[in-house]
Amino acid sequence: MKKFYVFIIIGLIVICTFIFEPFRSEPPTPKITTGKTVIPATQGSFCWDGPLFARCVDKIYSSPLEMAKAHKPMKVSPNQEIKIKFKNEPLAGTLIVEELRNENSIKNIKVKNAKISAPKEKGVYFYLVIANWKNGSGNHAFSIEVK
């Protein structure tokens, strides 16, 4: 019976290590919203120095466009505000957002107070969110359709 309790305690420690934020071994995932609607994001490659181990992970996506295509584009209105919020905020001045229409069209988007605006013109737009923290860096991609 004593071995059973030891096994349970070790199991709980291992589970807590991977669930709780201080023990994360990857960058925080952004909560991307427009109004009350959550826009799904796909995690890209990252390097992270966690309290237990450090690792770099290269995702198999060939481009940010492929990453963003993992989810159906969220429908938004022209000029609609999009918020990019992290549970653990990135280092000041390191949050970068790039807009992609295709492989050859990359545009840096102005980020103000962790917010961007959807374009005026109708169409599908892909975004790459890049950020740095004390523990490392990472990127995420999402897509919208301006109606």
Task: Provide the domain count of the chain.
Answer: 1
CA 119, 145, 62, 136 torsion-angle sign: positive
Report the run of H or E that residue 128 belongs to, with start and end. strand 123-133
Q: What is the CA radius of gyration of the chain?
A: 18
Amino acid sitting at position 9: I
How high is the pLDDT of residue 101?
Answer: 78
Query: What CATH number has the domain bearing residue 128?
Result: 2.60.40.1220
Give residue 7's pLDDT band: very low, low, confident or very high (50, 70, 90). low
* 7 in a structural domain: no
Residue 117: which residues within 8 A CB-CB, separation 6 or more? 79, 80, 81, 82
Q: Output the pLDDT for position 60.
A: 73
What is the average pLDDT score of the chain?
A: 86
Closest CA to 70 of 39, 46, 29: 39
| pLDDT: which is higher, 58 or 47 | 47
Residue 103 located in a structural domain: yes
8 Å CB contact between 31 and 142: no
Write out pLDDT tens, residues 110-119.
Answer: 999 999 999 9
- Give the residue with greater pLDDT, 139 vs 7: 139
In a domain, 12, yes or no: no
pLDDT of residue 5: 62
pLDDT band at 64 (very low <50, low <70, confident <90, very high): confident
Q: Which of 68, 84, 97, 89 is nearest to 132 (CA)?
A: 89
- Give the structural domain span for 110: 25-146
How many other C-beta atoms are found inside a 10 Å radius of the C-beta of residue 141?
26
Task: Kindly indicate the confidence band of residue 84, based on its pLDDT and cuts at 50, 70 and 90.
Answer: very high
Is residue 91, in this structure, part of any structural domain at all? yes
